[in-house]
Copies of this chain bind each other. A is one copy, B any other.
Amino acid sequence: MNVGGQVSEFTLVKCPSLELSESLLRFSLRRREFVTVAGNCECRYTGRASSHLGWGERLVLIKGDGSIQVHRPTGYEPVNWQPPQCTLHVHRNGCLLVIEAHRRRPRESLTLHFDRIIFYGSFRPVDRAEFNLYVSEEQMRDALIQDPSILEKGLELVDFERRVEPGFIDFYGRDVDGRLVIVELKRSQAGKEAILQLKRYVDAVLKLTGSNVRGVLAAPRLRSGAQGLLVELGLEFRRLSPRKCAEVLKKSGTRKINEFV
């Protein structure tokens, strides 16, 4: 267990016998640990296709969510695998240790036979961190200016960083029907704050122009639960992926991609 930086529980065994390995695996699977097994094995897969891999030394990862992957000495991708939610079984067949992974839909299974375990490691990682993937907000703005259609077909730029009462509007445009569009950009997950900020811009522009104004929140994704507030305030969300922005910036060439922090 890991509390306040203390050392986690883990198990590490050199060259365990197949019997011991079986016991270790059963225990780890029941505890939903993160298991690494290095050993000499043979792999068979049957399902959407079939495959066979003869004997050789590989590293097998088994996670607490039921995913399993077999890694050969080279290559980024596992040679055999099974995604999360699959059911794992361990048993011994004569002088071999067998690990089976089954999935229902699609129906497929992966079977590993081991005749020798080089080492066995297991632990229960404590990992509550949030993962954030993004481009910079400035880059997103540049991409949107270069090609407003990435957000919506027919969208055209009117102005950017327009000063209004509450601050600067990221992108100020006109849609295919001639309506004003105010875009608020967020480089990562957009939440309540972004929605309220956008609402302030929309209200300000509405007061100034008196015309119909659309408020669009553009971000890689919307925080779950924020949809309600968005709809309530009459605003819209448009997904804008980092990849898409990078693509546009690369094409436009006005700013070298891969130079941002």
A residues within 8 Å of B by Cβ?
A: 2, 5, 7-8, 10, 12, 14-15, 34, 36, 38, 40, 42, 46-59, 61, 63-65, 67, 69, 71-76, 79, 81, 83-84, 106-108, 115-116, 118-119, 121, 123-136, 242-243, 246, 257-258, 260-261
Contacts and interface: CB of A to CB of B under 8 A. Distances in A.
A49 B246 contact: yes
A34 B59 contact: yes
Contacts of A12: 12, 14, 119, 121
Contacts of A116: 5, 7
Contact of A47 (B36, B126, B258): B258
A246 B47 CA distance: 9
14 contacts: A8-B118, A12-B12, A34-B38, A38-B125, A49-B242, A50-B133, A50-B261, A51-B133, A51-B134, A57-B123, A67-B75, A72-B125, A72-B127, A76-B83
Contacts of A55: 129
Contact of A7 (B118, B130, B133, B246): B118
Given A7-B15, A36-B36, A116-B5, A258 B72 contact: no
A128 B56 contact: yes
Nearest to A55: B129
A106 B247 CA distance: 12
A51 B127 contact: no
Nearest to A61: B71
B56 A136 contact: no
Contact of A258 (B51, B83, B106, B132): B106
A120 B119 CA distance: 11
B59 A36 contact: yes
Nearest to A108: B258
Chain A to chain B: the 8 pairs with minimum beta-carbon distance, closest first: A56-B127, A54-B129, A49-B242, A57-B125, A65-B74, A56-B129, A73-B125, A51-B133
Contacts of A125: 38, 56-59, 72-73
B67 A63 contact: no
A258 B34 CA distance: 29
A244 to B, nearest CB: 10
Contacts of A135: 49-50
A53 B134 CA distance: 12
Contacts of A129: 42, 53-56
A247 to B, nearest CB: 9
A126 B47 CA distance: 28
